[in-house]
Amino acid sequence: MQTLEELARAGEGRDLFEAVLEDDCRERGATREDSLSRMGALLEAMRRAQAGYDPTLRSGSGMAGGDGARMRRYARERGGVCGPFVGEVIAQAIEMGESNACMKRIVAAPTAGSCGVLPAVLLPYQRREGLRDEDVVRALYVAGAIGQAIATQASISGAEGGCQAEIGSASAMAAGALCYLGGGDAQAVCHAAAIALKSLLGLVCDPVAGLVEVPCVKRNAAGAMIAMMSADMALAGIRSAVPPDEVVLAMRDVGERMDASLRETGLAGTAGTPFGICMRERIQGGKATP
């Protein structure tokens, strides 16, 4: 599906997931069973990646690792400002981002840098609500369709559109998925996505030393939080004043206006701070051995 408008219309009077599944089968010439088992495998891979977090690992640069465990311990022992559920979401988002930085196996959703957002909202929510895997797989279809509409009209690449295109898109996808699981109709799902994307509009891609570590890991937690907030707003009946596809096009416009130094080149933003420059020199200054 090319636009959120199309997605909203496709879901009128029927389960939105069914519409997306049909669309996928048509597009790839796949059978229903093929498609469902492939999506099921992705959910399983996400769960395994989550379970495989190793708190002792550090990335090659030394900048990423261990914070997920720190967050989890804090949330468990002290409850935290946001309470135990949100604490768990934050911990999972950070853990997945760290696993990615430490060369563990993850599921790009939509990119490797933003791989923590979707599982961090879906897996804890599934557990809390006692949902079946089947339901979460359906929500993944909804998330994927939102990502498709964004990729078609704008971009899901930080090099092209800044971090709003990566963490922003991941957050929009997660918001729509949560809204769907919370019983929202297709309209609400698209507005949840738009509210999330709008909240992250303008976010630049500024990885320190060009590595998917700082600020990427923590931005996964930010994307997850905004997804939950946006889903709740949409489920409460709040609508994005700007029509959803216009938000997507605004994201594209902002991405096009963004200076190249803020699109994954590792030159400005946090990458251009004295800390960022120092890290870049340390990492890129060495000799080329694996």
Partner 1 sequence: MNLFDILGPVMVGPSSSHTAGAVRIGLAARALLGRGTPRRAHIALCGSFAATGRGHGTPRALIAGLLGMEPDDERIPDSPRLAREAGMDVSFGEEPLRGEHPNTARLHVEAADGETLDMTASSLGGGRIEVVEMNGLSVLFSGELPTLIVQNRDQPGCVSDVTGILAGEEVNIATMRLYRDHPGGSAVMVLEIDKPVAGEGLARLRAIEGVFSVTYLDARRAL
List all residues 6 or more positions away from 185 whose beta carbon is below 8 Å from its beta carbon: 11, 16
- Contact partner, 219, from partner 1, ligand SF4, none, Cβ < 5-8 Å per class: ligand SF4
Where b means 16+ CB within 10 Å and e means fewer, 42-75 reads bbeebbebbeebeeeeebebebbbbbbbebbeeb
The three-state secondary structure class of 211 is coil
- 216 to 255: interface string for partner 1, x by CB under 8 A: ----------------------------------------
Closest separation in Å from C-beta 148 to partner 1: 6
CB 65 within 8 A of CB 101: yes
Closest separation in Å from C-beta 134 to partner 1: 16
Q: Does 51 bind partner 1 (CB under 8 A)?
A: no
CA–CA dist 150, 193 (Å, integer): 10
Among the listed residues 69, 86, 112, 131, the single contact to partner 1 using CB under 8 A: 112
Binding positions for ligand SF4, rule: CB under 6 A: 113-114, 158, 163, 166-167, 205-207, 212, 215-216, 219, 264
- Nearest by Cα to 194 from 161, 241, 254, 158: 241
Residue 165 buriedness (CB in 10 A; 0-12 / 13-18 / 19+)? buried
- 150 to 169: interface string for partner 1, x by CB under 8 A: -xx---xx-x----------
Binding footprint of partner 1 on the chain (CB under 8 A) = 20, 23-24, 27-28, 35, 38-39, 41-42, 45, 59-61, 99-113, 115, 140-141, 143-145, 147-148, 151-152, 156-157, 159, 173, 209-213, 266, 283-284, 286, 288-290
